[in-house]
């Protein structure tokens, strides 16, 4: 059935919708969910905070690793059981939706619609057009599709995500993203600036630019690149901290490093995915840089910003990874001494070049290598954090700690979690915090009187 846009039926339809969005995956997905929520709320639908109290459930999915995909399928089982008891529309969106659209929409799956990552702006139209029937929208467009930022239902009113590009052209041999999100597209420069200004007007203190490969940002009509974007937002009053994720080492230029150094609001913090410390593995991964080239970028960054906080992603057990190649990863971790890392066991993903290589590192070996990486990194982090005990650092307070409501939780410039005691609620404010103790993954402290 087709409900006409603008009709009374449409208004009633959206008014009766109570939606719940469940998000798997990265910050990009988090922000997509906030944007999807905004699209629905704009038409009068209401956000619900529980599965049970909603009649539209949207699951925003991640396909980057096999494990994330498995999590979706078990969650889907739970939803179909709820659907047997009550009237419910189930929509699957995001990367798994793009990848397994037909399977997800199978007759008895319980899923009503499937929407790929490039189709969110059409959400309301497709819901109306296909009212009561199963449908999918998974086409990629070559053009940037703007989702009006005024309606975004943001989780935080202190720190905001701002998407600046979509898709990826790099085709790292293990990665499914180019097949789920399509080719790179860049958001118009003026739209980004407008969103950041609006955020500043609404009292936001921190923004995080998002994209699969933010460093390759380029706006064709204005000719502005990523470093120009950083310089411009640095001048917007109100916003005090600026960060971005994710960077590709190949596209990370000296000019971007300079923009970071010069921009006093750009946090001296960078997530620069390495993946492997071995040049031969990097070649098989199609990463486009060698171990030495990566280390040169780190040197450039540290020369410009000696205290910069660095984090990275590591994959262990890539096809053909020898013990020697793995040791090169351990060595580089010791050399760079990251503030934080995200490490994964390689898992083959459909459509990727690496899925056609022999996945020959035994599971037990991958497991052991992952433990070795994590143990080494844990000791590095503990040492680095211990060196901060006794220092007073600047923290943006994000609210009460979820684990312990007696303390506040925030982040420092280096994007580390800091839990601290304070006699006064400092949510949304910057505060000097004296670090009194630490673990490998967090810092604890108390509010100080000055820096
Ligand atoms: N197997 C394991 N880890 C992967 N990643 C991406 N694809 C795979 C895969 N097939 C990791 C990379 C990437 C992060 C988001 O997920 O480290 O940077
Ligand atoms: Fe995947 Fe590589 Fe693109 Fe990152 S740069 S999204 S790892 S293909």
> Over 80: is that where the pLDDT of 154 sits?
yes
Q: How far apart are CA 102 and CA 114, in angstroms?
A: 9
Provide the sign of the torsion angle of the four alpha carbons 254, 256, 262, 267, taken in this order.
negative
Nearest-ligand number for the alpha carbon of 180? 2
**Cβ-contact 243, 165 below 8 angstroms:** no
Rounded to the nearest angstrom, the distance between the alpha carbon of 45 and the centre of ligand 2 is 35
Rounded to the nearest angstrom, the distance between the alpha carbon of 292 and the centre of ligand 1 is 22
Higher pLDDT, 6 or 177: 177
Ligand 1: atom nearest CA of 275 is 17
Q: How far apart are CA 161 and CA 30, in angstroms?
A: 9
* Ligand 1, atom 18, residue with closest C-alpha: 313
Q: pLDDT band at residue 7, thresholds of 50, 70 and 90?
A: low
Question: DSSP letter string over 328-393?
Answer: HHHHHHHHH--SEEEEEE----TT-SGGGS---S-HHHHHHHHHHHHHHHHHHHHHHHHTTTT-EE
For tokens 């989702």, the residue is: 147
Higher pLDDT, 376 or 10: 376
- Residue 97 beta carbon below 6 angstroms from any ligand 1 atom: no
Rounded to the nearest angstrom, the distance between the alpha carbon of 314 and the centre of ligand 2 is 13
Q: What is the pLDDT of residue 358?
A: 97
Q: How far apart are CA 258 and CA 409, in angstroms?
A: 31
Ligand 2: atom nearest CA of 212 is 6
**Poorest-confidence range of 25-34, 138-147, 258-267?**
138-147
Ligand 2-lining residues (CB < 6 angstroms): 168, 170-172, 175, 177-178, 212-213, 248
Q: What is the DSSP letter of 266?
A: B
Q: What is the pLDDT of residue 52?
A: 87
Region(s) of the chain under CATH 3.40.50.12160:
8-137
HSE of 291, CA atoms in CB hemisphere, 13 A: 17
Q: What is the pLDDT of residue 280?
A: 98
Most confident of 137-141, 369-373, 398-402: 369-373
Each residue of 80-97: pLDDT tens digit?
888 888 888 999 999 999
Q: What is the pLDDT of residue 451?
A: 84
* Ligand 1, atom 16, residue with closest C-alpha: 64
Mean pLDDT of the chain: 94
Percent above pLDDT 70 for the chain: 98
Assigned CATH topology for domain 392-447: OB fold (Dihydrolipoamide Acetyltransferase, E2P) (2.40.50)
HSE of 431, CA atoms in CB hemisphere, 13 A: 27
By most ligand atoms within 8 Å of CB, the mutation choice from 29, 67, 175, 343 for ligand 1 is 175
The average pLDDT across 245-266 equals 97
Rounded to the nearest angstrom, the distance between the alpha carbon of 112 and the centre of ligand 1 is 30
Each residue of 121-144: pLDDT tens digit?
888 888 877 777 888 889 998 899
Q: What is the DSSP letter of 3?
A: P
Q: What is the pLDDT of residue 126?
A: 80
Nearest-ligand number for the alpha carbon of 348? 1
H-run or E-run covering 399: strand 392-400
**Cβ-contact 78, 41 below 8 angstroms:** no
Ligand 1: atom nearest CA of 348 is 10
Nearest-ligand number for the alpha carbon of 65? 1
Q: What is the pLDDT of residue 6?
A: 61
- Strands 417-421, 443-447: pairing is parallel
By most ligand atoms within 8 Å of CB, the mutation choice from 62, 68, 170, 171 for ligand 2 is 170
The average pLDDT across 411-429 equals 96
Question: DSSP letter string over 77-124?
Answer: HHHHHHHHHS--EEEEEEHHHHHSHHHHT-TTS---EEE-TT-GGGHH
Q: What is the pLDDT of residue 163?
A: 96
**Is pTM, for the whole model, over 0.75?**
yes
Tell me the two tokens of residue 389. 């005990």
Q: pLDDT band at residue 151, thresholds of 50, 70 and 90?
A: confident
Measured in whole angstroms, how far is the alpha carbon of residue 283 from the centre of its chain?
25
Q: How far apart are CA 164 and CA 226, in angstroms?
A: 10
Find, among 146, 144, 190, the residue nearest to 167 by Cα: 144
Question: DSSP letter string over 212-229?
Answer: TTGGG-B-TTT--BHHHH
**Cβ-contact 39, 128 below 8 angstroms:** no
Rounded to the nearest angstrom, the distance between the alpha carbon of 349 and the centre of ligand 2 is 13
- Cα-flanking dihedrals φ and ψ of residue 372, to 5°? -60, -45
* Ligand 2, atom 4, residue with closest C-alpha: 212
Cα 77 to Cα 73, 80, 92, 102, 127, distances in angstroms: 6, 5, 13, 17, 23
By most ligand atoms within 8 Å of CB, the mutation choice from 26, 96, 174 for ligand 1 is 174
**Poorest-confidence range of 45-59, 227-241, 292-306, 375-389?**
45-59
Measured in whole angstroms, how far is the alpha carbon of residue 248 from the centre of its chain?
14
Ligand 1: atom nearest CA of 176 is 7
Tell me yes or no: is domain 8-137 CATH 3.40.50.12160: yes
Find, among 327, 436, 337, the residue nearest to 380 by Cα: 337
> Over 70: is that where the pLDDT of 5 sits?
no
The average pLDDT across 91-118 equals 92
Region(s) of the chain under CATH 2.40.50.140:
392-447
Residues in Cβ contact with 406 at an 8 Å cutoff, skipping those fewer than 6 apart:
421
């Amino acid at each position: 059935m087709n409900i006409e846009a603008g009709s009374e039926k449409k208004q009633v339809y959206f008014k009766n919708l109570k939606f719940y969005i469940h998000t798997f995956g990265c910050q990009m997905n988090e922000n997509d969910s906030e944007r999807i929520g905004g699209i629905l709320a704009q038409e009068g639908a209401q956000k619900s905070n529980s599965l049970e109290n909603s009649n539209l459930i949207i699951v925003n999915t991640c396909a980057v690793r096999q494990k994330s995909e498995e999590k979706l399928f078990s969650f889907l089982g739970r939803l179909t059981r709820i659907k047997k008891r009550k009237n419910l529309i189930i929509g699957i969106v995001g990367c798994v939706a793009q990848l397994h659209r037909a399977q997800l929409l199978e007759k008895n799956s319980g899923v009503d619609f499937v929407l790929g990552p490039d189709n969110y702006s059409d959400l309301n139209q497709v819901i109306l057009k296909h009212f009561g029937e199963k449908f999918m929208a998974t086409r990629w467009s070559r053009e940037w599709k703007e989702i009006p930022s005024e309606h975004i239902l943001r989780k935080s009113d202190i720190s905001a995500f701002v998407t600046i590009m979509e898709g990826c052209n790099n085709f790292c041999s293990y990665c499914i993203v180019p097949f789920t999100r399509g080719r790179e597209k860049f958001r118009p420069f003026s739209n980004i600036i407008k969103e950041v200004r609006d955020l500043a007007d609404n009292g936001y203190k921190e923004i995080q630019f998002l994209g699969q490969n933010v460093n390759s940002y380029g706006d064709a009509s204005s000719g502005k690149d990523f470093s120009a974007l950083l310089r411009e937002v640095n001048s917007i009053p109100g916003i005090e901290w600026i960060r971005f994720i994710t960077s590709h080492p190949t596209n990370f230029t000296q000019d971007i490093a300079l923009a970071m150094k010069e921009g006093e609001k750009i946090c001296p913090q960078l997530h620069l995915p390495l993946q492997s410390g071995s040049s031969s593995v990097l070649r098989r991964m199609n990463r486009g840089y060698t171990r030495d080239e990566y280390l040169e970028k780190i040197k450039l960054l540290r020369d410009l910003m000696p205290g910069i906080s660095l984090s990275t992603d590591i994959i262990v057990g890539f096809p053909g990874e020898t013990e020697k190649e793995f040791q090169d990863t351990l060595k580089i971790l010791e050399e760079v001494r990251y503030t934080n890392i995200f490490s994964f066991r390689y898992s083959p993903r459909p459509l990727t070049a690496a899925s056609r290589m022999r996945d020959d590192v035994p599971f037990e070996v991958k497991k052991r290598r992952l433990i070795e990486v994590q143990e080494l990194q844990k000791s590095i982090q503990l040492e680095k954090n211990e060196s901060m005990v006794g220092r007073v650092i600047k923290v943006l307070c994000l609210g009460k700690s979820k684990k312990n409501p007696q303390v506040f939780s925030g982040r420092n410039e280096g994007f580390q979690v800091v839990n601290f005691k304070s006699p006064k609620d400092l949510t949304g404010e910057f505060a000097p915090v004296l670090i009194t103790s630490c673990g490998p993954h967090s810092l604890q402290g108390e509010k100080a009187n000055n820096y």
